[in-house]
Structure 1
Amino acid sequence: MKGDESAMKMKEVCKRTELTERTIRYYVEEGLVTPEVSVRNGREYREYSAKDVEELNTIAGLRKLFFTIDEIKDMQEHPDRIHEVLSAYKLKLASDAKAKAAIVEALDGIFPGELRDVASIASKLKIMSEKLPLPQRDINPNFGKFEQGSKAEREQEYARFMERQANKIKRGRIIVYTIAILHILFSIVSFFLSFNILQLIVQIVLSICLIAGVSWVRYLFATGAAISVFLSVQLIILTVSEGLIDLLFYTILLVVYSGIGSFLLFKSESVSEFLYTQKNG
């Protein structure tokens, strides 16, 4: 037995954990908990300790929080990877929450009378569904514990997921740093035109806050960039009409930067992932 703890039968374990026998056997089959096995009269009997019950409660608690079996197993077997698993888990939760919020918003715009069958539901939400991937359970279904290579496939898919997340964060970092640096450069140019030192300091501080992942600064930048596009277009018309060709190139550059920056800050998933990582670690 594990230590000197008293052995418990399945019925007692179910009572203490409030889990069904089927759920407990599933966790055992997946290797998340390993009760003592004894053989009597040619039959195997599993005997659970207080430590096993504690582990079952821990596993159930994590599963209720949407941790996958593989994530729990990875943290159990490799404690040094816990921070890495949690980071990926937080990114996944944030992405899921964003997608689900968008779906709820789309559903609010659908009248019940428009839904005749399953196909009509899919049709109404087609634009939304085209932006989302299939669940991993559908891409790599597990047909049972005797499926050849299923564990290896799950590990490979997890590695691919981690690589995609890392690449996405890297792209987001490049985008955010580029926007922040260009914003500082444009602010410096504006300073030499207006000599407003307070405005320059504020813009530099906001750029630093954007890189640090401050959420409201992102939307402030995006909204400001969108307004800047509108104002810069008017400035282009003015410079052309009054023959101020010297300012034309700078103004066109500002329009391009502001338009692209506003779009990326509002829409880029890579930007969202990077800023979320900056804010939450």
Structure 2
Amino acid sequence: MDMSRRTVLERITGRGRPLPVPPAPGTVALTARGLGLRMGGTWLVRDVDLDLTAGRFLAVVGPNGAGKSTLLSLLAGDQPPTSGSVRIGDLAAGEARPAEAARRRAVLPQRAVLSFPFTVADIVAMGRAPWADTGAEEEDEEAIAEALDATGMTAFAHRRYPTLSGGEQARASFARVLAQRTPVLLLDEPTAALDLRHQEQLMVTARACADSGHAVLAVLHDLQLAAAYADEIAVLSAGLLVARGEPEQVLTERLLEEVYQLPIEVFRHPATGAVMVGPRRLGKGTP
């Protein structure tokens, strides 16, 4: 390859640069300051300051239209902000080459749109693309096998993606994220297409990632899952970060009723003491 073509390739991929050093547990892996996005005269997200810490699991909750997915896209560097900035480790998100960003954070979108009949193994292997031509490329086979096993997709490795159910497709996409082996995981409604068993499996795996030193952020609609697995919960309402803290601090009836505009009941599980959250419903037959 001549020097001009090599220079162009390195500018696009970041190849030839030192590999990122994972942040130590307890240190900030991603930070956002004054983050906002305005479209059509409306602020979808505004004035968000947020730190993601290595070894911690942050759940982002809020009603439809609160700006959760928009925030995740801004944090990932996939959407340029109208205001503010994001840094992923040592990298300014808005200035990062795609491969450099992909070595620092992995993103699970709400819906994966694939036009070709890739196998599940092909999909998971895509998570290793950022590490091509680096020392980490030697981990490809191990990373793919571990990701398939962690998501229960090993037996589906040779199945074509379009032949899978919605839940199986979601698990294959999550396996791709795990195979990427990045310090930061950004998951957008990862449990939405899953049945009860696989919701629990995914959340256990995400929790294990945090416990092993990753910084994990998951956008969730299920407040119960957020309370059970997250170290902290951030509540978005109308694009603003209105609360952040440990589940028992944030999940209060007063705050949730204000945000969701619905009567909410918060109580402790009688056996475990865990925080339980749900709509305050009238009994059957009650007028």
Report the TM range for the smaller structure's normalisation.
under 0.3
Higher helix proportion (structure 1 or 2): 1
Higher strand proportion (structure 1 or 2): 2
Q: Which has the higher contact order (CA 8 A, sep 6+)?
A: 2
Structure 1 or 2, whichever has the larger Rg, is: 1
TM-score (normalised: structure 2): 0.18
